[in-house]
A and B are shown apart, each in its own frame.
Chain A
């Protein structure tokens, strides 16, 4: 019966409490912790490398001209990418104009009006599926729906592609935001005789607003960085766009186009554009988190 007790040296066994087995276990434990920490810190390497390169290669060309002038022709120097910055902003605006109302109103419907209805379940499923769709598929769709119909690449097509990309993010975060509103508020408002609409407009939405905005900002950050949905919907342009119905430049497509050319100046410009883009995305992300944390 005592066979087990004799196997397990323990605290009460006096000097033997630090058995060789216990030491081995402790050493193994330390080694594993060391491996885990090393692997984790390894992640710093790519991020540091990216940031250093962005600053090193992107800063030299950064100046006011970058924001106001047009891209240089192949092999030429000087210039900027004002049209690409404008194009990115315009297409995000178009995307938002479609996806924000659709996403937020849908979220209100599936959380406030008919959470268990079949339509609500369908909306949740579609949002989930859309989240998983590769971003380039949004571009393929906009190509089929707009470019092939109108016969031209355009900011509309790019904006529609971005809208599809942003919709699930906005919808799902808005739903979460509305779920976060205490039901006691709703009951209080309804109990005072408010209509559904009054309850939503005056109690629920104001309370959920910061969290909804967080979702919108996250969607903007994501859309700003996306290239795939734009390369064959908005295409690119060397010029300022005169209308929304013509090929439109964007920052991300500019980076893509310029990264593969043999001219050092253009490659430098790709880095500068990357720096501007990463800065924009980071600011949008931080804004999203600030809005969110202020609410909590």
Chain B
């Protein structure tokens, strides 16, 4: 178990901005296999702190697979294995001493399809706190308000916190899932096509929220929507057939890509 020598980012809501690390998440020679099928080929990339990094590419290109490795969600599938390493803040997530449950608790994740639990709005938000044994009402109340405000949902639901989350609209459900993901103050927020099931208006709200959230969180977002990547990301990585083809600042990728494949994809010639 090692702690990075550099000063770890102390993340609280006090907005003192410590120096940002360019390699907050660092992927090193990472290969990933579903059984015999190789899904990712020698990925190397550094994801910067408190920025939005977008993963784009056609379906099956491996972008979601990589995202789901950051919090080891892929381990729910049988027969997977990997080589190489992923480090967050310099610390390997595959280190023997790492309990996968504490890793996941430190990394928020938002899914393609909103997945509120069939419980009240309140219970959804405090889920992560409850499973880690926190039950003091004042802590929970504080967390609910902070998280829902953080997800720009507080004003819409503050009067019905104890009603079922299933009564919310699609966009509200997705923002509730964001609130739930940030409730435990993670440092990283993973978003797997968070807007693909939302209507345009709800999408705009979530995108605004993403831009807001990057002040506190390192965000990685998988998206099919290239406009979305240009609107809310700082850096963009283009994946194709399990390889990282190009990774650069978003404006560069979309205005002046260095790779032919990237250009073909963003101009809509395939994918």
What is the interface of chain A, defined by CB distance below 8 A to chain B?
1-5, 7-12, 14-15, 17-19, 21-23, 25-26
Mark B1-39 against chain A: 1 for CB-CB distance below 8 A, else 0.
111000010001100000000000000000000000000
- CB atoms of A4 and B185 under 8 A apart: yes
With A4-B143, A8-B129, A26-B101 already in contact, the answer to whether A14 and B12 are too (CB < 8 A) is no
A47 to B58 CA separation, bound complex (whole angstroms): 51
- In the assembled complex, B161 has its CB within 8 A of some CB on chain A: no
Complex contact B185–A12 (CB within 8 A): no
Main secondary structure of the interface of A (DSSP, over half): helix
Are B102 and A17 neighbours in the complex by a CB distance under 8 Å? yes
Cβ of B210 within 8 Å of any chain A Cβ, yes or no, is no
Report the bound CA distance from A23 to B8 in whole Å.
24
> Is A11 touching B13 in the complex (CB atoms < 8 A)?
no
In the complex, whether B187 has a CB less than 8 A from a CB of chain A is yes
Total contacts A-B at CB 8 Å = 77
Q: Is B139 a contact partner of A10 (Cβ separation < 8 A)?
A: no
Q: Is the CB of B97 within 8 A of A3?
A: no
Confirm or deny: B121 has a beta carbon within 8 angstroms of a beta carbon on chain A: no
- Bound-state Cα–Cα, A23 to B105, Å: 14
Nearest B residue (CB) for A23: B99
Check: B134 CB closer than 8 A to any chain A CB: yes
Task: Kindly list 5 other residue pairs between chains A and B, CB separation below 8 angstroms, not including A1-B13, A11-B105, A23-B99.
Answer: A8-B128, A8-B134, A10-B184, A10-B186, A14-B3
B228 contacts the other chain (Cβ, under 8 Å)? no
A4 contacts B139, C-beta separation under 8 Å: yes
**Complex Cα gap A23–B102 (Å):** 10
Residues of B within 8 A of A8 (CB): 105, 128-129, 132, 134, 184-185
Name the segment of B86-94, B167-175, B243-251 touching the other chain.
B86-94
Instruction: State the Cβ distance, A7 to closest chain B Cβ, in Å.
Output: 5
- Are B103 and A11 in contact, with the CB atoms below 8 A? yes
On chain B, the residues within 8 Å of A23 by CB distance are 99
In the complex, the answer to whether A26 meets B99 with C-beta atoms within 8 Å is: yes
Q: Are A10 and B13 in contact (CB under 8 A)?
A: no
The distance from the CB of B146 to the nearest CB of chain A, in whole angstroms, is: 8
Known contacts A4-B129, A18-B97, A26-B99; A11 and B1 CB within 8 A of each other: no
Question: What's the Cα separation between A10 and B186 when bound, in Å?
Answer: 9
Chain B residues 13-72 with CB under 8 Å of chain A are: 13
Cα A2 to Cα B3 in complex, Å, equals 21
Give A33 Cβ to nearest chain B Cβ, in Å. 14
B106 touches A12 (CB 8 A): yes
How far apart sit A15 and B1, CA to CA, in the bound complex (Å)?
6
The verdict on A18 contacting B3 (CB below 8 Å), with A4-B134, A5-B185 known, is no
Instruction: Check A11 against B139 for contact (C-beta < 8 Å).
Output: no
Cα A17 to Cα B89 in complex, Å, equals: 14
Complex Cα spacing A9 to B98, Å:
12
* Contact, CB under 8 Å: B134 / A11: no
Residues of A within 8 A of B107 (CB): 11
A7-B139, A8-B132, A21-B133 known; A14 vs B185 contact (CB < 8 Å): no
Shortest Cβ distance from residue B6 to the other chain A in the assembled complex, whole angstroms: 13
Contacts of B13 in A (CB 8 A): 1
Complex: how many Å from CA A76 to CA B186? 81
CB of A8, distance to nearest CB on chain B (Å): 5
Partner of B102, one of A1, A4, A11: A11
List, in ascending order, chain B residues with CB within 8 A of A12's CB. 8, 88-89, 91, 106, 187
- Contact between chains at A15 and B99 (CB < 8 Å): no
A selection of 15 A-B contacts at a CB cut-off of 8 Å is: A1-B12, A3-B139, A4-B129, A4-B139, A4-B143, A5-B185, A8-B134, A11-B88, A11-B106, A14-B3, A14-B91, A15-B3, A17-B97, A18-B102, A22-B101
Q: How far is the CB of B182 from chain A (nearest CB, A)?
A: 12
Cβ of B75 under 8 Å from chain A: no
A14 to B4, CA, bound (A): 9
